[in-house]
Every structure is written in C-alpha cells, then in structure tokens.
Amino acid sequence: MEASGAEDSAPESAVDDETTARGEDRSGISDFVRRAVSAGVGAASRSKDDIMRVAAGEVRTWLEHLNMNDEVVKALSKMVIEVKTEIRFRPTEDGKLVTETSNDVKLKPPGR
C-alpha cells in the first residue's frame, strides 16, 4: 500500500514540478525580455552619443574653416538698404523746440 501511496503522490509532485518549471520559464522569459530591452536601449543610447559626437565634430570643423568676414561681405554686397529719416523741429507755445522724427527702412532685392 505504501508503494501505491508513493505512486499517488508522484503525480502531484510532477504537477508541482511542471508549475514550478513554468513559473521559472516565465520568470526566465521575462528576465530575458528585460535584458534584451535593456541591451537595446543601451545600444540606442550609445548610437545617439556617437552620432552627436560626430555631428559636433563636423560642425566644429565647418565653423573653424568659415571666414565670417567674407560671408558677411557677400551677404551685404547683394543687399540694398534704403533708409529714409526725417527730423523736424517744432516750436512749442512756451518757445522750446520739440523734435519729431520718422523713419522708414526698406530692403530691396539685388538688381533693382
């Protein structure tokens, strides 16, 4: 009888083992997913840092070789700026002079 009792308890322990194994599988899978996501995020972060480092180096090199004086001269030589200013002096009733000013600035496209 004890042998049959041992046989009866064996299926229960097998079920317990399956449940434990499934729990470990789920835990193992979730751990695997967590590690995979973590690795993906880490790789993306490193890639972003590398891209920013390369872009910063390229911009720095471009700015070092940029001759700002020549670029400003090129931009201004193609522009026509028309400035019209009127200043009027008006006497007040008490004999003091008051100034009235008006300004008008126009940017014209080149060639006009």
The Cα–Cα gap between 32 and 24 comes to 12
The Cα–Cα gap between 49 and 26 comes to 34
Average pLDDT, the chain: 79
Query: Which has the higher per-residue pLDDT, 79 or 29?
Result: 79
* pTM for this model (two decimals): 0.37
Domain ranges of the chain: 1-66, 75-112
pLDDT at 59: 94
What are the angstrom distances between the C-alpha of 68 and each of 16, 43, 57, 99? 78, 39, 19, 39
- pLDDT tens per residue across span 65-86: 999 899 889 888 888 889 999 9
* Short-list 106, 108, 107, 102, CA closest to 85: 102
